[in-house]
Amino acid sequence: MKQVTAAVIEKDGKILIAQRRRGDVLAGKWEFPGGKLEQGETPEACLRRELMEEFGVDTKIGAFVCSSRFEYKHLPIELLVYRAEHIAGEFKLNDHDRIEWVAPGDLGKYDFSSADIPVVKLLAG
């Protein structure tokens, strides 16, 4: 089971979500951004690196939120979710088609990837 990190980045009461780009295994699905843990990397270091690679932004990784497991056909994963604070940089779309800032109560209106759905339920309350 591959460990994957994800960030809950909040700004003005809204949460950042990103849509997987066309051609991706989960193309069109929404997710909390992050990525696969590399050997010897902490989840926090992984998440900070992935957010820099995917969006060109610097972040401060905060508290652990939850974990979620899902067995995709292409890869069984354990999603490790952390709060993150945007420190510097403008968001660029390097790995996604779109990003949106969404009120927690509206997260359920988006078509999230399966591993992210328990996180949506937790955040939407």
**pLDDT digit string (tens) for 56-101?**
999 999 999 999 999 998 889 999 999 999 999 999 999 999 999 9
Q: Which residues contact 19 (CB under 8 A, 6 or more apart)?
A: 28, 29, 30, 31, 96, 97, 98, 99, 100
The pTM of the full predicted model, rounded to 2 decimals, is 0.94
Q: Which two tokens stand for residue 58?
A: 């610097």
The tokens describing 105, both together, are: 């109560």
| Distance, CA of 59 to chain centre | 13
Q: Cβ distance 33 to 24 under 8 Å?
A: no
- Closest by CA position to 4, among listed 31, 33, 35, 30: 35
Task: Write out pLDDT tens, residues 18-48.
Answer: 999 998 888 999 999 999 999 999 999 999 9
Query: What is the rounded CA–CA span in Å between residue 108 and residue 119?
Result: 10
> Do 63 and 43 meet the contact criterion of CB atoms below 8 Å apart?
no
What topology is assigned to 2-124 in CATH? Nucleoside Triphosphate Pyrophosphohydrolase (3.90.79)
